[in-house]
Amino acid sequence: MPQKYAPYGLWESPITADAIAEDSVSVSDIFVDPITKDIYYIEQRASESGRYVLLSNQTQTEVFAKNFNARTRVHEYGGAAAIAYNGTVYSSNFADFLVYAAKDGKIKPITPEDPKKIYRYADFCVHPVHTDLLVAILEDHTHDTPQTVRNSLCVINSTATTVTSLVCTEDAQREFYAAPTFSPSGDKLAWQFWEHPDMPWEGGRLYVADVCYNPNTHTLSLSNTKLVAGSACTISACYPLWASNDKLLFTSDEGEEGNRFANLWECTQARTKPVLSSVVQQDFCMPPWTLGNYPFAFLDDNGTKAICVAWRGGRSVLYVVDITTGSYKEIKDKSFDFVVIEHVRRMSNYTFVFTGLRSNAPGAAMLCTLTGPSFVPDFQVLKSTASTSAVPFPEGIISLPTPLELKLADNRIVYAVYYAPNNPAYAGSGIPNEKPPCVLGVHGGPTGLETQSLNWLKQYFTSRGYAWLDINYSGSSCYGRKYVERLKGNWGITDVNDCIEAVQSPELRSLIDTKRTAIRGGSSGGYTALASISLASSAASKTKFFASATSNFGISNLELLADDTHKFELMYMTKLLGGTKEEIPHVYHDRSPVYFSARIETPLLVLQGNDDEVVPPAQSWTIIDGVIKNKGHVEAHFFDGEQHGWRTSETIKRAIEFEREWYEKSMVRASQ
Each residue's pLDDT tens digit, 568-619: 999 999 999 999 999 999 999 999 999 999 999 999 999 999 998 889 999 9
Q: How confident is the model at residue 65 (pLDDT cuts 50, 70, 90)?
A: confident
CB neighbour burial string for 419-439, b if at least 16 within 10 angstroms, e if fewer: bebbbebbeebeeeebbbbbb
The CA-atom distances, in angstroms, between 615 and each of 86, 563, 649 are: 40, 11, 21
pLDDT at 215: 95
Is the per-residue pLDDT at 92 higher than 60? yes
pLDDT at 541: 46
**What pLDDT, in 10s, does the model give residues 358-386?**
999 999 999 999 999 999 999 999 999 88
Alpha-carbon span 161 to 166, nearest angstrom: 16
pLDDT at 672: 60
The CA-atom distances, in angstroms, between 567 and each of 10, 306, 477, 507, 571 are: 44, 34, 22, 41, 8
| DSSP H or E run through 404 | strand 402-407
Average pLDDT over residues 444-453: 96
Q: Residues with Cβ < 8 Å from 410, sequence gap 6 or more? A: none
- Judged by average pLDDT, the poorest of 37-51, 180-194, 379-393 is 379-393
Alpha-carbon span 238 to 240, nearest angstrom: 6
Q: How confident is the model at residue 396 (pLDDT cuts 50, 70, 90)?
A: very high
| DSSP H or E run through 408 | none
**What pLDDT, in 10s, does the model give residues 308-348?**
999 999 999 999 999 999 999 999 888 778 999 999 999 99
DSSP states along 568-627: GGTTHHHHHHTS-TTT-HHHHHHT-GGGGGGG--S-EEEEEETT-SSS-THHHHHHHHHH
pLDDT at 671: 63
Neighbours of 34 (CB within 10 A): 18
pLDDT at 543: 57
Is the per-residue pLDDT at 668 higher than 90? no
**What pLDDT, in 10s, does the model give residues 134-154?**
999 999 999 999 999 999 999
Task: For 44, list phi and psi in degrees, rounded to 5.
Answer: -100, 120
What Rg, from alpha-carbon coordinates, does the chain have?
25
Is the per-residue pLDDT at 630 higher than 70? yes
Is the per-residue pLDDT at 260 higher than 50? yes
Alpha-carbon span 221 to 155, nearest angstrom: 9
The CA-atom distances, in angstroms, between 482 and each of 133, 477, 506 are: 42, 10, 26
Average pLDDT over residues 515-542: 85
Alpha-carbon span 174 to 487, nearest angstrom: 23
Q: What is the percent of the chain where pLDDT is above 90?
A: 89
| Cα 121 to the center of its chain, rounded Å | 19
pLDDT at 376: 95
**Residue (of 299, 327, 321) closest to 309 by Cα position:** 321
Q: How confident is the model at residue 351 (pLDDT cuts 50, 70, 90)?
A: very high
In three-state secondary structure terms, 631 is: coil
Q: Residues with Cβ < 8 Å from 586, sequence gap 6 or more? A: none
Q: Residues with Cβ < 8 Å from 624, sequence gap 6 or more? A: 606, 634, 636
**Residue (of 102, 96, 203, 219) closest to 164 by Cα position:** 219
Is the per-residue pLDDT at 228 higher than 60? yes
Residues facing residue 522 across a β-bridge = 552
State the pTM of this model: 0.94
- Judged by average pLDDT, the poorest of 339-343, 378-382, 506-510, 668-672 is 668-672
pLDDT at 540: 42
CB neighbour burial string for 238-247, b if at least 16 within 10 angstroms, e if fewer: bbbbbbbeeb
Task: For 76, list phi and psi in degrees, rounded to 5.
Answer: 70, -35
Say if residues 541 and 606 touch (Cβ distance below 8 Å): no
Is the per-residue pLDDT at 537 higher than 70? no
Is the per-residue pLDDT at 539 higher than 50? no
pLDDT at 182: 98
Is the per-residue pLDDT at 387 higher than 90? no
Q: What does pLDDT average to over the chain?
A: 94
Alpha-carbon span 120 to 116, nearest angstrom: 13
Task: For 604, list phi and psi in degrees, rounded to 5.
Answer: -120, 130
Average pLDDT over residues 524-538: 88
**What pLDDT, in 10s, does the model give residues 96-116?**
999 999 999 999 999 999 999
Q: Which amino acid is at 148?
A: T
The C-alpha angle 435, 463, 659, rounded to 5 degrees, equals: 85
- Judged by average pLDDT, the poorest of 75-79, 175-179, 333-337 is 333-337
Alpha-carbon span 293 to 287, nearest angstrom: 9
The C-alpha angle 445, 446, 447, rounded to 5 degrees, equals: 80
Q: How confident is the model at residue 2 (pLDDT cuts 50, 70, 90)?
A: confident
Q: How confident is the model at residue 389 (pLDDT cuts 50, 70, 90)?
A: low
Q: Which amino acid is at 345?
A: R
